[in-house]
């Protein structure tokens, strides 16, 4: 598969295909959670990986922290409502895209 076909497959219309996005409605500072699915395919065999973040994770007073759980320890709950990638604030989308491209070697 060519690199462009791989990008088109994993990032159709620039939207990461293998993620789940959650919003807890502002109950906590780390309002948004993104779980990168199929982590075994990019080297995290047996783990669930993701990132929790505030509205502006790059700001000095913002929050953006990565996590990983052993699959047996992850309960699948995020404490929030599932939303689309497009509903994330712009800076959160930037962080997610950066991670996603790195994880999938795009």
- At 19-57, the pLDDT tens digits run 999 999 999 999 999 999 988 888 888 888 999 999 999
- Above 90 in pLDDT, residue 63? yes
Specify whether the CB–CB gap between 102 and 44 falls below 8 A.
no
Label the pairing between strands 32-36 and 47-53. antiparallel
Q: What is the pTM of this model?
A: 0.90
Whether the predicted pLDDT of 90 surpasses 80? yes
pLDDT tens digits for range 73-84: 777 666 789 999
Work out the pLDDT band at 1, boundaries 50, 70, 90: confident
Alpha-carbon dihedral of residues 61, 53, 85, 15, nearest 10 degrees?
A: 90
Cβ pair 91, 57 in contact under 8 A: yes
């Amino acid at each position: 598969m060519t690199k462009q076909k791989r990008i088109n497959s994993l990032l159709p219309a620039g939207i990461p295909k293998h993620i789940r996005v959650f919003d807890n409605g502002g109950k906590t500072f780390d309002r948004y959670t993104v779980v990168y699915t199929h982590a075994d395919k990019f080297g995290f065999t047996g783990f669930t990986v993701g990132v929790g973040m505030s509205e502006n994770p790059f700001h000095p007073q913002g929050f953006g922290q990565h996590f990983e759980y052993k699959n047996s320890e992850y309960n699948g709950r995020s404490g929030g409502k599932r939303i689309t990638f497009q509903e994330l604030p712009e800076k959160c989308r930037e962080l997610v895209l950066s991670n996603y491209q790195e994880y999938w070697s795009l």
